[in-house]
Amino acid sequence: MTPDVNRLRRSLDQLHEMLERIEFEFVDDPRWAKPSDFSYLTDADRGDSDIMDNVDAMAATNELIAWFGQDFEGYVGLWRGPNGLSLDEAPVVRLDSEGQYYIVAATVPDYLAISVDRVEEESFGEIRRALIAAGFDVRGSREEIWAAIDGKRKSPNDYRLALYNQGRVRRGLRSI
């Protein structure tokens, strides 16, 4: 994994209170299967080609993510994308409970800073200082964090939709 993920692993005790606020659970398995667990599907769901095309597209998209945890909104990992970014270059992606992917930060410490900041009244500066004390390099403001990812990465949702549409076309349907 990346130096930031390794640092996070080593800092779990030091950052315990902060991580608890975002209900973060560290997962030490980049190929973690849980985000691709579709066992909740019913037999009727499994008989629906549209649903199964989406399941296949999500599973393929998940293969391009190196998972490192789960938080209050979903699963989090590093999005390598179809071009196979190195893990050091890969932005942090979240797969939410509705099956949507979001690039949430350019780096693990930026993800932590912006996530804790969203659920707490604490100032960004306090959170940033705590992360720096744990050895992380964090951007200077919320705006810098968002600017670092603003429109510069191919969305995992776009990738999944392209795969889903390939399945539709194979079945003789038009793309959506």
**Per-residue model confidence as pLDDT tens for the chain (176 residues):** 899 999 999 999 999 999 999 999 999 899 999 999 999 999 999 999 999 999 999 999 999 999 999 999 999 999 999 999 999 999 999 999 999 999 999 999 999 999 987 656 567 888 999 999 999 999 999 899 999 998 766 789 999 999 999 999 999 989 88
Q: How far apart are CA 70 and CA 110, in angstroms?
A: 16
> Taking the model in full, what pTM does it have?
0.92
Which domain does 84 fall in, by range? 3-170
In a domain, 129, yes or no: yes
In a domain, 175, yes or no: no
In a domain, 176, yes or no: no
Q: Give residue 1's identity as a one-letter amino acid code.
A: M
**How many CB atoms are located within 10 Å of the residue 136 CB?**
21
In a domain, 152, yes or no: yes
How many structural domains is the chain composed of? 1
Q: Give residue 86's identity as a one-letter amino acid code.
A: S
Q: Give residue 71's identity as a one-letter amino acid code.
A: D
